[in-house]
Amino acid sequence: MPTPLAHAAPHDDHDHKPHGWRRWVYATNHKDIGTMYLVFSCIMFFIGGGAAMLIRLELFKPGLQFFDPQFFNSLTTMHALIMIFGAIMPAWTGLANWMIPMQTGAPDMALPRLNNFSFWILPFAFTLLLSSFFVPGGAPAGGWTMYPPLVLQTGASFPMLIFSIHLMGASSILGAINVIVTIMNMRAPGMTLLRMPLFVWTWLITAYLLIAVMPVLAGAVTMLLTDHFFGTTFFTAAGGGDPVMFQHIFWFFGHPEVYILILPAFGIISEVIPTFSRKPLFGYEAMVYAVASIAFLSFIVWAHHMFTVGMPLAAQLFFMLSTMLIAVPTGVKVFNWTATMWKGSLSFEPPMLFALAFLFLFTIGGFSGLMLAMVPADYQYQDTYFVVAHFHYVLVPGSIFGIMAGVYYWLPKWTGYMYDVKLATWHFWLSAIFVNVLFFPQHFLGLAGMPRRIPDYAVQFTDWNMVSSIGGFAFGLSQLLFPYVIWRCVRGGQRIGNKAWEGAHGLEWELPSPPPFHSWTTPPSDAVIARGAAH
Amino acid sequence: MQPQTDSAQRAAPGSQGRSRRVRRSALLWALIALAFYLSFILMTLVRGWK
């Protein structure tokens, strides 16, 4: 009777790739699941972007133009939830699925069925969330922060919001478990921790953050659910509860969440800049320690989001100073990226252009974050458009440009074809110009006192709002180039070899382009690993 | 190392130890996540009772 291994042997000549819908619904292959995550993220990016353009349409002129205030608040709430949980986080998980096995010399993710499950939760979660637009009372409108008691006034969509958040959290936790277990158990022999590419390192640290904070969000929304339906008063002052407690719990999740959204971008920028500078990354170990320090500090700064609720002076000082401390490891990273480029042989292909824009514009977002960290200044800026400008500089030219840099960097590897570089360069310049037209004026509006989350405003804010809206429409429309470039590349183009970029290092570039269905069926040799880990 | 033909068939005899490590560490991290979930609810409860 043949043993399982004897049975497997005659089939080694083909890859058992399933076909048709089964390939996607029953997918256990890391590349297929990665592709599904990325496609899902792209769809959510355009739905969330559509909501953003409606917001900018309403804000083009003062006065109520198109929407009633309740619907406007639904748009801002849903825009945030969709972009954070539907667009950026799944994009990182998609990139992790594609790249971590290929970069660590593993054949696949450690838990392929769990991987399938954690992806397929997401379409159900977002169908539930988006369908809340059509229930009595409309979609949630209390802000993505879901502060009680306001959020407890949400209509029929309240349980849909809570359940969808639970589903998204479960998906993220399962994905994070998979990433940690893969990196810790599936690396090829010889792929030591300090030989791992920075993208793998940043994702490992991100996964630890996810495990620590997503359950905290789940706990917070579970308590909201019981307050709403089962008569508990966790956050209801009338019953002895404390609404400020919710803010503490939420931001204990919420601040590390910011780093969950940005750390993998640090990893990608640390891959792209050395490739197009044709130099090893400056200070590899310092970069690893800087990311770990940022992750640690992210747990002890949460109350800077809520200085104005009133807290003891000592607490204000602690949270102000700990927040400012984050500038140190972040500065280490920015200077190391700059030092990597110093005297390098630079070239400016689309991934490098997005990485450079990231470097400049994320730093602007970092500096406005430092301004917000100062308690007396924060009392002025709190709940103004200055905050909106700050976090959009961190998340759009930060996280989203990081995703775009990663996709433009690895797309030729995934498809085996080079994409239309000219069109991708157009995509970059339109994005880089209009993201500033969109968000930079919001600093001025905030400093002048325009509050956030309002559908109407005083007439003196009109001019900069018009500029911002024009930037928003142009930025939004220019993003249509992104899926078009990808679609054309998937369909064909100029064939590339193993290495799409002359200066690229790393195990993924040792595999053929496109890579085989199972990545490293035989672990790479130590010499190959050493060649890839040229930092 | 045996060539891999299917994710489900990866558990060749030589990799049984690794499979065990994978299962154990996945379970450990799931329990840690569960502990965070429950402890924050418990913390809020305890604070409310004071």
Q: What is the pLDDT of residue A14?
A: 53
Q: Using an 8 Å Cβ cutoff, are A77 and A142 in contact?
A: yes
Range of the domain at B31: 17-49
Residue A121 confidence (pLDDT) above 90: yes
Say whether residue B46 is in contact with chain A using an 8 A CB cutoff. Answer: no
Is A12 part of a structural domain of the chain? no
Is B42 part of a structural domain of the chain? yes
Q: Which residues of A are catalytic?
A: 79, 108, 144, 171-172, 255, 257, 259, 270, 304-305, 330, 333, 452
Is A160 part of a structural domain of the chain? yes
Beta bridge partners of A494: A418
Chain A neighbors of B8, CB-CB under 8 A: 28, 112
Q: What's the ipTM?
A: 0.85
- Lowest mean pLDDT, pick from A236-240, A434-438, A444-448: A236-240
Say whether residue B19 is in contact with chain A using an 8 A CB cutoff. Answer: no
Is B8 part of a structural domain of the chain? no
A30 → chain B, closest CA residue: B7
* Average pLDDT rounded to a whole number, residues A349-366: 97
Tell me the H-state helices in A16-59: 21-25, 30-58
Is A346 part of a structural domain of the chain? yes
Take residue A35 and report the two structure tokens written for it: 């592709």
Please indicate whether residue A445 or residue B8 has the higher confidence score (pLDDT).
Answer: A445
- The domain that holds A42 is classified in CATH as 1.20.210.10
pLDDT in tens, A472-498: 999 999 999 999 999 999 999 999 999
Q: How far is A287 from chain B (nearest CA, A)?
A: 26
pLDDT in tens, A317-329: 999 999 999 999 9
Is B10 part of a structural domain of the chain? no
Is A272 part of a structural domain of the chain? yes
Of A215, A249, A518, Cβ closest to residue B34: A215
pLDDT in tens, A296-310: 999 999 999 999 999
Confidence class for position A1, pLDDT limits 50, 70, 90: very low
Residue B3 confidence (pLDDT) above 50: no
A1: Cα separation from own chain's centroid = 51
Is B7 part of a structural domain of the chain? no
Is B4 part of a structural domain of the chain? no
Residue A123 confidence (pLDDT) above 50: yes
Rounded to whole angstroms, what are the CA distances from A463 to A444, A445, A468, A500?
A: 11, 10, 9, 45
Of A181, A245, A521, Cβ closest to residue B25: A181
A106 → chain B, closest CA residue: B4
Residue A341 confidence (pLDDT) above 70: yes
Q: How many folded domains does chain A comprise?
A: 1
Looking at chain A, the number of H-run helices and the number of E-run strands are 20, 2
B45 → chain A, closest CA residue: A234
Say whether residue A12 is in contact with chain B using an 8 A CB cutoff. Answer: yes
pLDDT in tens, A244-258: 999 999 999 999 999
Is B44 part of a structural domain of the chain? yes
Is B25 part of a structural domain of the chain? yes
A519 → chain B, closest CA residue: B4
* Average pLDDT rounded to a whole number, residues A97-114: 96
Q: How many folded domains does chain B comprise?
A: 1
pLDDT in tens, A205-222: 999 999 999 999 999 999
Residue B6 confidence (pLDDT) above 70: no
* Average pLDDT rounded to a whole number, residues A273-278: 97
Take residue A519 and report the two structure tokens written for it: 């990545």
Q: List, in sequence order, every beta strand (DSSP E) within A444-534.
A: 494-495
Q: Using an 8 Å Cβ cutoff, are A362 and A397 in contact?
A: yes
- For an interface test with A, which of B7, B20, B34 has the most A Cβ atoms less than 10 Å from its Cβ? B7
Please indicate whether residue A143 or residue B9 has the higher confidence score (pLDDT).
Answer: A143
Chain B neighbors of A181, CB-CB under 8 A: 22, 25-26, 29
Q: What is the pLDDT of residue A15?
A: 61
Contact call for A177 and B33, based on CB within 8 A: yes
pLDDT in tens, A24-82: 999 999 999 999 999 999 999 999 999 999 999 999 999 999 999 999 999 999 999 99
Q: What are the b/e assignments for A264-299, b being 16+ CB within 10 Å? A: bbbbbbbbbbbbbbebebbbbeebbebbbbbbebbe
Say whether residue A285 is in contact with chain B using an 8 A CB cutoff. Answer: no
Contact call for B40 and A216, based on CB within 8 A: yes
Residue A394 confidence (pLDDT) above 70: yes
**Omega within 30 of 0 (cis) for the link into A512:** no
Contact call for B29 and A211, based on CB within 8 A: yes
SS3 A411: helix
Q: What is the pLDDT of residue A5?
A: 38
**Residues within 8 A of B (CB atoms), A 88-107 only:** 107
Range of the domain at A459: 28-532
Residue B4 confidence (pLDDT) above 70: no
Mean pLDDT score of chain A: 94
